[in-house]
Structure 1
């Protein structure tokens, strides 16, 4: 997995030693409320380790899930990812389309980190030959929709094609 660097951030591979941060971030209702068709908070460190392993299983030559770290302080801030979308159905199936996304710890909200991290990931995707990238958000998630717009993504409207839920769909295609 390739690390990425932006002006303020290091995007790096998640390590098991990061499990306490993952537990802290993903145990918060304000973080998980917009994640998946049935949002579920983590409850213990073993669930955080399982989450890290699941992220590793979604990696390939292009796709990855990165830890977002402040370059100056070394403090972890959240997650950014470039993964295959999951098509609706039982069970969910890997789709052909690629998704960019981000989850930040509430302590990191409002500082432009999501936009900066996603910009680095989209540049990486372009270098890797991924010409079209999508983002999906809950219809109520105005903050993530604002990030999509700051990234220059175009809003395609609502869809239920992914994750067994109705999402707002954004694309990098002009």
Structure 2
């Protein structure tokens, strides 16, 4: 897949780099962020482990079928990494595509997850995808609120995906109210 670069009013959404390891560790190594990632991803324990994770993400990126992938969210005003975004196939059947967002705890409540995810959804809907899901534990009020802000419809609860009771949200291309970038965001 060609490198992705999307811009919003405040963010640049770009491919991860191994050079992001230290900043990414402040997100994926933070217990307050990581508690919501398990079992999809475990807390990263040190900067070297984060570097290894990023190496794997960078190496696998060209082999992923669009729109799946993982991207960094960088604040445009100061080039600070504020979070990450992903579009992944949901287990166990790998038919449904899930959008995920992770934001640095120091940046919570500033709307970066919604802004970045809205741009990524707009791009994803240029890639022959009809619907995208988000799943969250009901106790993860921030994730549930973000899904709703994105215009995602609550479709129920399930233990199908990760063996946890999760709230499931969905947005269809026909119902998506966000911007769709010209030329597929490239």
Partner deviation per Cα, 1:15-62 (whole Å, 9 max, x = no partner) = 011011121211211101111238732222221022213434263332
Q: Is 1:168 paired with 2:174?
A: no
**1:16, 1:48 → 2: CA distance?**
9
Partner of 1:44: 46
Q: CA deviation at 1:108?
A: 1.1
Q: TM-score, normalised by structure 1?
A: 0.89
Output aligned runs, 1:144-155, within 5 Å: 144-155=143-154
**1:162, 1:126 → 2: CA distance?**
22
* SS of equivalent residue, structure 2 residue 125: helix
**2:33, 2:100 → 1: CA distance?**
13
Q: Residue 19 of structure 1: which of 21, 24, 33 is its match?
A: 21
Q: Given that residues 125 and 131 in structure 1 are in contact (C-alpha distance below 8 angstroms), is that contact kept between their aligned partners in structure 2?
A: no
**2:39, 2:19 → 1: CA distance?**
29
Partner of 2:179: none
Structure 1 unmatched runs, 5+: 88-93
Q: Is 1:81 paired with 2:83?
A: no
* SS of equivalent residue, structure 1 residue 76: strand
Q: CA deviation at 1:171?
A: 0.3
**1:61, 1:38 → 2: CA distance?**
20
Q: TM-score, normalised by structure 2?
A: 0.84
Structure 1 residue runs of 4 or more that deviate by more than 6 Å after TM superposition:
none
Structure 2 unmatched runs, 5+: 176-186
Change (3 A) 1:97 1:11: same
Q: Is 1:108 paired with 2:107?
A: yes
Q: CA deviation at 1:95?
A: 0.8
